[in-house]
Structures are given as C-alpha cells and as structure tokens.
Amino acid sequence: MTTEFLSSLNGGALLTAVKESGEVNTMTVSWGGVGILWGKQVAFVFVRPQRHTFSFTENGSKMSLTFFENNEESKKILSFCGTKSGRDIDKIKACGLKYTLDNGYPIFENAKYTLKLKKIYADTIKKDCFIDTECLKWYKNDDFHTVYVCEIRG
C-alpha cells in the first residue's frame, strides 16, 4: 500500500453491494483490510446484521469498495452514508453519486480507487473466540459483525 492510498481513506470507504435482483445499496465502512489469503488477493470487510446493506452482502456475491479523494465533499458523503439507512433513503441518489455496473460490480464515477470484490467466504464473529475480551466493548448488544472475505477482481 502506498502512503497516498492510505491517506486517501478519509476515515472510510463505501461498501456497495448488489443483490442477485440487481438492487444496489451502499454504506460507509472503516473496519477491514487487504492482503493475500488462500493464494488470492483479498479484501475483508465487516457488516453488522442490523445494517440494511447486510441483506445485500448476504444475498449477492459482487460488491465494491470505493475510495474517494481526501476532501470535504467526500467526507460528507462518507458521513451521510454511515449515518443514514438505505431502508429510509436512497443514499446514492441523495449524495448525487452515479454508478455503473461493470460486469455486475458497482463502480462510482467519481472514485479515486475502486476494488471490485467477489465474495468467497463469510462467517459471523463469535463471542467465545475472543482471546482479548477487551475487544468485546464493541459488541455491547452482542450484535457481532459478519466478516466477508472477498477476492479482489479489479
């Protein structure tokens, strides 16, 4: 990872998922990473079950991570998409974002970086697997994230 890439994170990225029906939803994520796993270049992201996007990540296999320029407009988009629910509002339209589906992967026009992701593994974090139980402070309601390991397809 380059310093330029890391400084572009703005405190998060948009995780955009596509249901098999073609319906698209996005949310801000800040927990995750990239690396090599099972001989593949992967990204891993975390989604809580109460998030509207969860049904999208569960239903479909294609998603994207979008990183924007580090500026005030992008920070507003990330803040909005991290605090509003797609159940109540079309966040993509409300933010003035435009996307296309590139072989089924959602790509925003004004992205600085986009990772096209194909879901290859999913599992819910388990309370009894924590070795450092201090980390449980993030789960006061036992609403454990599902972690998605996704092959980076572009």
Bridge partners, residue 33, by sequence: 44
Q: What is the pLDDT of residue 69?
A: 86
- Determine phi and psi for 142, rounding to 5 degrees: 55, 35
Q: What is the pLDDT of residue 102?
A: 94
Phi-psi region of 23 (alpha: psi -120 to 50; beta: other; left: phi over 0): beta
Q: Tell me how far apart the alpha carbons of residues 17 and 52 are, in angstroms, rounded to a whole number.
A: 11
Coil/strand/helix, residue 124: strand
Burial class (CB in 10 A: 0-12, 13-18, 19+), 55: middle
CB 141 within 8 A of CB 69: no
Q: What is the pLDDT of residue 70?
A: 84
Q: What is the pLDDT of residue 1?
A: 47
- Single-letter amino acid, residue 151: E
Per-residue pLDDT of the chain in tens (154 residues, 90 and over written 9): 455 555 556 568 999 999 988 899 999 998 999 999 999 999 999 999 999 999 999 999 999 999 998 888 889 999 999 999 999 999 999 999 999 999 999 999 989 999 999 999 999 999 999 999 999 999 999 999 999 999 999 9
100-139: burial string, b at 16+ Cβ within 10 Å, e else:
eeeeebbbbeebeebbbbbbeeeeebeeeeeeeeeeeeee
Structural domains of the chain, ranges and CATH numbers in brackets: 3-152 (2.30.110.10)
